[in-house]
């Protein structure tokens, strides 16, 4: 059995209930290579909430991208893979820890079945329960983290969980191996120098936007390969890695970011990584205006799916 | 077997793939009382196209209305009824007659199985194939037609089909019985006096907005009951019946219209009608800004569903 | 020679360079009954500027209303009348008095040729030069003034001209006869009781929104007829007469206003007035979102044109 | 000492840091009759979050309404009263109970100093800590509650606090006296008949929208006076009392609501009530498009301030 | 006789009926070097319709660009050339082949009179009738095609005409010479590898975005000169060549595209080409938000006009 | 005494009355290193007015950027400096010369007290009174001018003052020393070659966008240092230096511009300049859609503040 997508040459792309890229909306753990899954939780946003509607908006726009063949990687997603849309995970609206429990439990079932999840946040706090689930199955993974922010402060208003803290806890809880992990695109203003220090102290390597803007994609990709050393990888992509011109619909936009082309070229270059889980977070449609943030997110997820397909086709999965 | 909806007290309303009011998205003809179905076709729009995205936008906003109990009619939709979301019908983008064929065929299967369809357009031209399907099963029906426009011109640019012509053809083809049919809310400017004459000549009765604004809901409802004489009814609701303040997201808005309250009170009052099919058309999300048009449409469909449930509860279905 | 409009049954309404209601864009004073003319001046706005784009936005949306037959007044605008779009008057951007001179001069030529102007502002200050031109030809006229504001303060920041002062100066300069003039829809908060006193002291009668919401259209219309006593009338319509729900795109919106239906019914009722000039002002498209303000304005102008046609048909012009 | 507002005839209304209605932004408890205060907390929203930006958006739009004289009540707010903008209360983002504690404590200081607070939410959950503070000073008060929703369910997802539960807890905790309290405008669909039962069981009276649409303002106002029996009142206004056409920018809009005129006339009619605290909640600017929701909210607060001034002028405060 | 533009130093740019760049709106074939003409047809859009409003929106925004001197090419458009705005071509709304006939006939008259058309779509299907007209006069031309998509599939839903098929038919009908033609900017996902194969099989050369992002403008321009070999050229520019950040208002946006600077520099570099016709297509204003797509399109057309003027000044036309 | 900012780790960034970057809103001349000040004047805009709301929108969005430590310059703004938000300067709405007088007078007081102003326009005409004030204190300064336009035409519609003329008058009045001044980013279309000549004749140097797109930041920065020769500098930044994709919310957007990254890197590189005053102008929020223009402006101001802090830390101030 192989799960694929509606043929857009038989039913127009604008038709139908909006699953991601017109895949089937079922939650089965059999015969599934990858599953797109929404995590509509945004209680941990420190500025603009609204990422709870991210999964729905990305699904809506993904119809536009419902074409399975990737001409650069020369691979057809659904010829190589079986993929489904798992719908959204549960949560307890307004309650952080209770929600994290639900998310961890449901994600763990995905990892435990050998399925590669592509999670759509939600605010960036959801990556913490995702990593709890991931490490429960795979042990500490290398983190490849695209973001304008470090997200490594220990607490916020005396509380451990916010969308600015997940990678502090991920390191402290041993969910990731910071020595093989790398943060890309950092350019936020800071409360103080200790904000940058936090990341370094935890053992992460960070590539700032100010440096990356003077590097080629090849140089950056090379850095990532060097750092991750062949380990299993979790790739987390905060949409604010992109410049606000490309992704206005997000919780804490930061000027000076990257174009969609730069993002796509970088992701495409990571095809040799052994990525066991992906997420894309912080898409907040209420601030998106014309939908370009969701369109970008859908395109990035399509790239993730193509990476999986390429690896399967080339016997690496 | 009874098809219901996701319990929003167990999974938050904002979660999940967006079917109408969180119902199941399956197309079965067994054990189904009513089916919501999208008809994303807008090739016949004479001004703004865009209603092809109506079904998707209404589904998105229907989550907000995902509460099954109607306190005025004192009925729980899913306690009384089994209902599903059939997804969208097919079409041949850009080609009118080919699309009408597909729509007619798929709609007929619904009527033939005794299921009450609640169709979401698309532009108003889709009501013609719906009525072809309806009359194939039930013979000519009484039409209850909410609209700012007559939609009874014979042709447009030398072509029979546009969203301004469906009720000319419905009468001429014998799909409806104009002598039992009524148009409500008419207020468009006209190309000439013959535009109003068309409707009268075909045998329709029309209530103009200018008169309705001076009538009570009770008086209007009474008019509808008198006119339809207990016959089987098809109810078609063009969202531009509402004033542009209440429904900006539509193809040909006309000032001087009605509030959502007026619309809901009128629909609610029609519970004694034997309605075999419903549609709501001309929701064009690209012009909707804040989504209130889709919210209004979702609320009106919820009202349709409640009418069906009320009739079932009271042994009239 | 009679100037009419493009036949929308031969060329679709959405086509072509956007003149008002698809009329010819020429400035001739021969064989013209009425002329739509833009006055894109907003330097006098005290809150939001932006009404300089009003004429362009109203023209764009007027295509939607490009149907010449009025079913209530039973009159075809272009069968009775010859009408054109004069384009926009000149101005000196950022300079009030210089602009008023240009506007007065160009408007006077229209009045002097016996043409009824339908001016599209611009902020409400433009009515002052319009009235200077009008009274130069007709002497002091009765003013019928729809607005949320009195616009009768004597000066603003030590300067005589702002969009809050035109009807102070119109009275003081003898351009209007306040004893035959009436203000309708007043509901603004005031700097002090003297703001309301200003209007009364100048001799205007004012109908507040708080009273009008408890009157029928017939009662209000009767008031206007009584007050204007058969004199020549200039009708000025500030779009903020409408509630912000119906007309968000304006410079100084005030809650508690009127619906488009109420406005249209009132205007329609004034067909017996001898109106020598019309304007509609304060449409600011940058704040309009979905365009409903411009759609309402186009509909109101269409009503003005129908009044003119009705009077011509009935031998009153 | 009397705190007033910037004179908009000396500094234009669009200028300056945006406090509510251009009042001073200081937090003093001396010589203050009323204080506008923001509570930017929206963690308890069950559908759309975003009301944390309500206070800021209402302040921005309040500049437009910065005129102190109320022509219907014939009172100048700042001649009668001393009022300030207290800025915003604290909160612990993403943590409900911790935030309620802060809010309760800060609100209690206001009540204890005999100042009438006009709070700007935030989601409707914030009314619970407000009432805890209020009752700590005044004992159980009568509640006058404008809303499309009952907000009286006991819990949501197993948790006591959400924006759907405050008036359950307010009654259970003895913060209000339901036998003197009234809910106005209810029209939400329900999960089941028990939702309406909850309110009645707690002892509240409810006026449904379906009834109110057939009543005069006078009749409704009379009902409120009868019910509140001269007791001290807390007035809470959920912006979704207004129809989505008038207030699109809110968390859970419900069609079939009221106009701003209806709201303003009702509030104005309540001038004889002994109101010790006010709030307006659920303004979510990200969904507001053209700002009309914030404009409506600012107008309603201006009305609240005028009520206070009227009572002071007439020796009732 | 020379047709020019309104002097924006005498009448402000924001004034007047909106023709392209304030040129005269007349359709004459005498003394005209180039004509801007709208083709408001979008029935062939496979995802979002709405490009029928493209010409009107581009005209509106072109006022902003109404400055005739190009400082890089050192040429004044209207000193060198006579240009007009022809308004819009006819169409039969909703009917493809009938519309193509009208478009072909009207375009052919332009080419036959030696006028260089600058057509504003409409969806990309309109380039097919344009090329039919063009080749009827000039024989097969070289195509220079900027686009994210190949647009070379043979049919869509069993029908030959859609906005994804024009260059299949253009090649098959012999309207263009693929061996001298080049596609620039391709980056769409594909239904399968055959989609790319189609283009190559027809004889087109394609430059993918992935390659172009690593080339200089000079290198790309050189490629175009080499490919077109001095032949007569038709230049077609799909606005989705630009990244969605630069052109959100289009039917099928694709991330990973180009900036306006890159586009302008490329076009400017093509001044030595013998271009006999231009179009720009797929501007869909309903999805444009802030108007930047129309602003970009107007800027690109201004560049087209400057190329024509440069060629005339330098004796190449 | 040192003025700083609210600690966003104690009060969430979204809370409170919106001053720039949460600084104190007081106007004192003691113990202040720099002051952010709004100049909400847009009467001189020649296309879209609306920049009067620029200061308010930038303040709103600056909360997002309320982090004082600059990781590239390694400096904490409020550790080094004392800064406040002065609120907005006065103006006489609609009257240019009277407003310039007020602005000049209030700005001069700032310069005279040795405070570095960071002014937020307003349209670009406000830089003229700023420079009058600046030169009254410092004599003629070097101008570093980021803009898509020269702004050096002598008059507009026969009037000396518009947002297209300030740098003509600044040179003619001797407020700046053109021989040490440089314009960066010029790319507007021109009325004629004399527009570019104006700038050169006045003695300014200009770097066109067409050249800058082929230069490194280092090369451009070097040019600025060479040109300004160590003189005191006034830096003026028109937001339309950025491409419309990055800054749609402005009065006269021009395609082909720069990214926020390019702007930030250039500004950061100017830390060795002796800048005595800054402004950022032409942010027009009504055209901004998602707020990215204001976010960019806030980020640029944050960069200005960091330059000041860096200079203070390094003993250069």
Query: Rounded to an integer, what distance in angstroms lies between the CA atom of residue A128 and that of residue B312?
Result: 49
How many other β-carbons are positioned within 10 Å of the β-carbon of residue C315? Answer: 6
Give tens-digit pLDDT for F55-75: 999 999 999 988 899 999 999
| φ/ψ (deg, to 5) at C227 | -70, -40
Q: How far is CA D276 from CA A122, D88, D113, D118, D233, in A?
A: 40, 19, 12, 9, 6
Name the minimum distance, in Å, from the CA of B291 to any CA of chain D. 8
Contact list in E for residue A64 (CB cut-off 8 A) is 47, 252-253
Q: C1: buried, middle or exposed (CB in 10 Å: 19+, 13-18, 0-12)? A: exposed
Task: Check D162 against A48: CB less than 8 A apart.
Answer: no
Give tens-digit pLDDT for B214-252: 999 999 999 999 999 999 999 999 999 999 999 999 999
A–B touching, 3+ CB–CB pairs within 8 Å: yes
Contact list in D for residue A159 (CB cut-off 8 A) is 92, 94-95, 98
pLDDT > 70 in chain C, percent:
100
Query: Rounded to an integer, what distance in angstroms lies between the CA atom of residue E132 and that of residue E138?
Result: 10
Q: A232: buried, middle or exposed (CB in 10 Å: 19+, 13-18, 0-12)? A: buried
Pairing, β E232-238 against β E274-281: parallel
The DSSP symbol for F273 reads S
Name the minimum distance, in Å, from the CA of F6 to any CA of chain E. 33
Task: Check B290 against D252: CB less than 8 A apart.
Answer: no
DSSP three-state, residue F84: strand
Q: How high is the pLDDT of residue D183?
A: 98
β-bridge partners, C159: C156
Query: Rounded to an integer, what distance in angstroms lies between the CA atom of residue D35 and that of residue D141?
Result: 19
**Would an 8 Å CB–CB cutoff place E124 in contact with chain F?**
no
**Would an 8 Å CB–CB cutoff place A97 in contact with chain D?**
no
Query: Rounded to an integer, what distance in angstroms lies between the CA atom of residue B302 and that of residue B57?
Result: 15
**Would an 8 Å CB–CB cutoff place F89 in contact with chain C?**
no
The contacts of residue E57 (CB under 8 Å, 6+ apart) are: E249, E283, E285, E288, E291, E294
Closest residue in A to E213 (Cα) is A261
For residue E175, which of E197, E149, E204, E155 has the smallest C-alpha distance? E204
Torsion of Cα atoms, A188 then A189 then A194 then A199, to 10°: 0
* Mean per-residue pLDDT, E171-181: 98
Task: Check E52 against B49: CB less than 8 A apart.
Answer: yes
Contact list in A for residue F22 (CB cut-off 8 A) is none
Q: How far is CA B295 from CA A287, B57, B70, C43, D296, in A?
A: 19, 9, 17, 38, 20
In sign, the C-alpha dihedral spanning C146, C150, C152, C157 is: negative
For residue C40, which of C49, C27, C32 has the smallest C-alpha distance? C49
β-bridge partners, C23: C5
Tokens of C269: 């009722």
Cα separation of the two ends of chain E = 18
Tokens 């309290």 belong to which residue? D181
Query: Rounded to an integer, what distance in angstroms lies between the CA atom of residue E141 and that of residue E232?
Result: 5
Q: Which of F63, F67, F290 sits opposite A287 (nearest CB)?
A: F290
Q: At what angle do helices E292-313 and E54-62 cross, to 10 degrees?
A: 70
DSSP three-state, residue F184: strand
The contacts of residue D44 (CB under 8 Å, 6+ apart) are: A94, D96, D123, D124, D125, D161, D162, D163
Q: Is there a cis peptide before residue A51, judged by omega within 30 degrees of 0? A: no
Query: Rounded to an integer, what distance in angstroms lies between the CA atom of residue B281 and that of residue F15?
Result: 43
Per-residue pLDDT of chain D (317 residues; tens, 9 = 90+): 799 988 888 889 999 999 999 999 999 999 999 999 999 999 999 999 999 999 999 999 999 988 899 999 999 999 999 999 999 999 998 999 999 999 999 999 999 999 999 999 999 999 999 999 999 999 999 999 999 999 999 999 999 999 999 999 999 999 999 999 999 999 999 999 999 999 999 999 999 999 999 999 999 999 999 999 999 999 999 999 999 999 999 999 999 999 999 999 999 999 999 999 999 999 999 999 999 999 999 999 999 999 999 999 999 98
Tokens of C51: 């009404």
Name the minimum distance, in Å, from the CA of C24 to any CA of chain F. 26
Tokens of C162: 């702002």
For residue A231, which of A134, A312, A146 has the smallest C-alpha distance? A134
β-bridge partners, F5: F23
Query: Rounded to an integer, what distance in angstroms lies between the CA atom of residue B86 and that of residue C246?
Result: 36
A39 in Cβ contact with A122 (< 8 Å):
yes
Tokens of F170: 């600044």
**Would an 8 Å CB–CB cutoff place B60 in contact with chain A?**
yes
E266 in Cβ contact with E220 (< 8 Å):
yes
Q: In Å, how far from its chain's centre is CA F262?
A: 16
Q: What is chain C's Cα-based Rg?
A: 18
Q: Is there a cis peptide before residue D162, judged by omega within 30 degrees of 0? A: no
For residue D123, which of D238, D288, D246 has the smallest C-alpha distance? D238
DSSP three-state, residue F242: strand
Q: Which of C12, C19, C90 sits opposite E91 (nearest CB)?
A: C12
Query: Rounded to an integer, what distance in angstroms lies between the CA atom of residue A257 and that of residue A149?
Result: 11
DSSP three-state, residue C135: helix
Query: Rounded to an integer, what distance in angstroms lies between the CA atom of residue F233 and that of residue F236?
Result: 10
DSSP three-state, residue F297: helix
Query: Rounded to an integer, what distance in angstroms lies between the CA atom of residue B77 and that of residue B317?
Result: 14
DSSP three-state, residue A313: helix
Q: Which of B50, B92, B161 sits opposite E286 (nearest CB)?
A: B50
**Would an 8 Å CB–CB cutoff place D40 in contact with chain F?**
yes
Lowest-pLDDT range of A53-67, D82-96, E3-17: E3-17
Give tens-digit pLDDT for A85-136: 999 999 998 999 999 999 999 999 999 999 999 999 999 999 999 999 999 9
Q: What is the largest CA-CA distance in chain D?
A: 57
F195 in Cβ contact with E69 (< 8 Å):
yes
Q: Where are the alpha helices (DSSP H) in chain F?
A: 54-62, 77-80, 96-112, 127-138, 166-172, 193-202, 209-212, 217-228, 260-269, 292-313
* Mean per-residue pLDDT, F30-44: 97
Per-residue pLDDT of chain B (317 residues; tens, 9 = 90+): 799 988 888 889 999 999 999 999 999 999 999 999 999 999 999 999 999 999 999 999 999 988 899 999 999 999 999 999 999 999 998 999 999 999 999 999 999 999 999 999 999 999 999 999 999 999 999 999 999 999 999 999 999 999 999 999 999 999 999 999 999 999 999 999 999 999 999 999 999 999 999 999 999 999 999 999 999 999 999 999 999 999 999 999 999 999 999 999 999 999 999 999 999 999 999 999 999 999 999 999 999 999 999 999 999 98
In sign, the C-alpha dihedral spanning A76, A78, A80, A85 is: positive
């Amino acid at each position: 059995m192989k799960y694929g997508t509606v043929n857009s040459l038989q039913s127009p792309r604008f038709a139908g209930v909006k699953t991601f890229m017109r895949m089937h909306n079922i939650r089965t753990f059999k015969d599934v290579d990858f599953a797109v899954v929404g995590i509509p939780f945004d209680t941990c946003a420190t500025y603009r909430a609204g990422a709870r509607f991210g999964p729905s908006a990305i699904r809506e726009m993904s119809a536009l991208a419902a074409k399975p063949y990737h001409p650069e990687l020369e691979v057809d997603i659904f010829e190589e893979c079986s993929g489904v849309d798992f719908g959204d995970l549960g949560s307890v609206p307004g309650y952080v820890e209770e929600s994290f429990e639900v998310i961890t439990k449901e994600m763990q079932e995905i990892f435990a079945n050998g399925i590669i999840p592509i999670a759509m946040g939600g605010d960036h706090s959801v990556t913490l329960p995702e990593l709890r689930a991931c490490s429960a199955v795979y042990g500490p993974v290398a983190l490849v983290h695209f973001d304008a922010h470090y997200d490594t402060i220990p607490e916020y208003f005396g509380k451990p969980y916010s969308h600015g803290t997940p990678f502090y806890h991920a390191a402290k809880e041993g969910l990731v191996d910071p020595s093989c992990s790398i943060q890309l695109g950092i350019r936020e203003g800071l409360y103080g120098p200790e904000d940058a220090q936090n990341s370094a102290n935890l053992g992460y390597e960070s590539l700032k936007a100010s440096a990356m803007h003077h590097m080629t994609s090849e140089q950056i990709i090379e850095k990532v390969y060097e750092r991750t050393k062949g380990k299993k990888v979790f790739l987390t992509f905060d949409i604010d890695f992109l410049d606000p011109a490309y992704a206005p619909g997000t919780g804490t936009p930061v000027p000076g970011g990257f174009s969609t082309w730069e993002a796509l070229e970088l992701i495409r270059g990571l095809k040799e990584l052994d990525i066991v889980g992906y997420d894309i977070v912080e898409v907040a449609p209420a601030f998106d205006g014309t939908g370009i943030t969701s369109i970008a997110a859908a395109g990035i997820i399509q790239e993730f799916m193509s990476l999986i397909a390429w690896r399967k086709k080339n016997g690496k999965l």
